[in-house]
Structure 1
């Protein structure tokens, strides 16, 4: 277990070729062996480039209006109700993920994909015992159904012969070719990566805002100021990419929430050969876990680390001490989208609603 910034960088960046990414066996079977998480070398580089194309700022900034529509619709469904925040956020992030995977056509497949995926997600970290009647067996069937749904979508798109500017389109247009199984593995993998972690982060953000009224007040003032300035300039209230650039306080809240909550607490790596590491021998096949939570909560890296204090990010943290999305070639390629969908939701939640945390 690695708990210092310098050693984490060695494993994830400097000596990354000595440590391959790995996950529990159940997760590998559910996502698919050809998903980007499990790859190394040229194939991983190619996949990462395709995924980054779908999630880079130049792409996502053109879909703010679509994200806003999803956020506003969800918030309206909460009015006057008691909600389970994490479950509602999983719905939000799932719908946003589908938007970037399938474009606006996602509404055509949303319910079928949701039905299968919600069964699948329950066994990601369970024992992979595929016995009839077990939840794992049902999840394997749901995984097969998901692949069949995706195969139908692929067949329909090939018949249409259109160019699609979404992740599925980029995977289909890969010059070296991706077969249906490879595409299915990577689509399911991206849904997994884009959904629960971001939903968990938003849940923590709302918890921290509710428990820190002065921070909530500062965020609300910043968001309302953006609206006020737009109205004074005679603009409509629809958010723009430029508006998100002005959300400095809100972005610090996101950063501090990422640090305190450490959604990605650690990551799995496996030694591909015997490795001499800082005086220790790590045998081939042994797991190595960089512990991001320990790094984020170390007094060597952050003053008063247990305190929720977004202002600490007015100054850049110590090098390699803040790795909320991992580091190196396997760092999260969708982090810009995650931050954007959070900014959009917080903007509408703080400017249009008042809410309280009950538990």
Structure 2
């Protein structure tokens, strides 16, 4: 009588083992079909992060490109990834076959910026937030800010008057940050502006650091500063609500947002999106401004044409 249950258990075990073997075999076949590009993955979890940070990242990627070509695999910040170093490959991902790819970021970066930031999402949430941001930063709105933006530019140039050499990209980043604060908050209290700048700089320094919470590391300092940014933004939001200020800046649009179900954004969602927008806009804006300055400097005829256009417009 005891033999039958034993046989049943043995059969169940063998079936489970067979199923696992078939699943493993299918998985191996799939891996063989989906070949990854050449490259090395480095150590488990750490990957090649330490190698990249031990030298100039540009040198690290240039060496990889020279050895493996324009498309290669690696592992950075705990994330296996494929690097693209040619315009054709980038166009394939971003333009012709964008529907095949989903934008993702290392968890450490999501945590630092804020998981509710719109560029970490897809679907309805992303579409609604993106439309809201576009509306709040429309050409009509920006046009009204031109006098204030001009004042920021003049102040930045005056601060450089006595410097013989300056790094253009660093200065345009500072300028982009000031304009970003203006676009998001309007005329913000100087105390809040300085506190935001101080903590944001700490977060930015730790953004590409190795994600370890050991006290004193760039990442740990950045996470502490990120929490402080939440506190500052909550103070600004509370003050805005208390005084019932009627503004037309991005913060006002975020505070007044309601979806089709009447749901508003939480303060955490608002804070994540404000920090996300600052991150998304700063480097790209600074890069564009740096190249514009270079081309205007190198081509005097172009510079004169721009001066004439500006003179005629105003």
Task: Normalising by structure 2, report the TM-score.
Answer: 0.66
- Specify the alignment match of 1:180 in structure 2: 267
| 2: CA distance, partners of 1:11 / 1:182 | 30
Query: Which runs of structure 1 show a deviation greater than 6 angstroms over 4 or more consecutive aligned residues?
Result: none
| 1: CA distance, partners of 2:284 / 2:236 | 26
Cα displacement string for residues 266-300 of structure 1 (whole angstroms, at most 9, x for unaligned residues) = xxxxxxxxxxxxxxxxxxxxxxxxxxxxxxxxxxx
Aligned residue for 1:104, secondary structure, equals coil
How has the CA–CA distance of structure 1 residues 59 and 45 changed in structure 2, closer, same or farther, with 3 Å as cutoff?
A: same
Aligned residue for 2:216, secondary structure, equals coil
| 1: CA distance, partners of 2:129 / 2:122 | 10
| CA apart distance, 1:108 | 4.4
Match of 1:72 among 154, 160, 163: 154
- Specify the alignment match of 2:140 in structure 1: 58
| CA apart distance, 1:219 | 2.7
Q: How do 1:1-359 and structure 2 match up within 5 A?
A: 1=84, 3=89, 5=91, 8-12=94-98, 15=99, 18-82=100-164, 83-105=166-188, 107-175=190-258, 176-210=263-297, 212=298, 215=299, 217-226=300-309, 228-229=311-312
How has the CA–CA distance of structure 1 residues 208 and 228 changed in structure 2, closer, same or farther, with 3 Å as cutoff?
A: closer
| 1: CA distance, partners of 2:155 / 2:248 | 24
How has the CA–CA distance of structure 1 residues 120 and 4 changed in structure 2, closer, same or farther, with 3 Å as cutoff?
A: closer
How has the CA–CA distance of structure 1 residues 127 and 20 changed in structure 2, closer, same or farther, with 3 Å as cutoff?
A: same
Structure 1 unaligned regions, length at least 5: 230-241, 244-359
How has the CA–CA distance of structure 1 residues 25 and 106 changed in structure 2, closer, same or farther, with 3 Å as cutoff?
A: farther
Task: Give the structure, 1 or 2, with the largest relative contact order (CA under 8 Å, sep 6 or more).
Answer: 1
Cα displacement string for residues 190-247 of structure 1 (whole angstroms, at most 9, x for unaligned residues) = 111121221122223333444x3xx2x1232123324654xxxxxxxxxxxx55xxxx
CA contact (8 A) 2:213 2:220 kept: yes
Cα displacement string for residues 114-140 of structure 1 (whole angstroms, at most 9, x for unaligned residues) = 110000001222221112221111110
| 1: CA distance, partners of 2:94 / 2:131 | 24
CA contact (8 A) 1:98 1:106 kept: no
| CA apart distance, 1:8 | 3.5
Aligned residue for 1:20, secondary structure, equals coil
How has the CA–CA distance of structure 1 residues 24 and 125 changed in structure 2, closer, same or farther, with 3 Å as cutoff?
A: farther
| 1: CA distance, partners of 2:242 / 2:102 | 39
Aligned residue for 1:130, secondary structure, equals coil
Q: Number of paired residues?
A: 223
CA contact (8 A) 1:36 1:186 kept: yes
Aligned residue for 1:21, secondary structure, equals coil
| 1: CA distance, partners of 2:257 / 2:144 | 22
Cα root mean square deviation, aligned: 2.0
Task: Normalising by structure 1, report the TM-score.
Answer: 0.58
| 1: CA distance, partners of 2:146 / 2:274 | 22
CA contact (8 A) 2:93 2:101 kept: no
Aligned residue for 1:143, secondary structure, equals helix
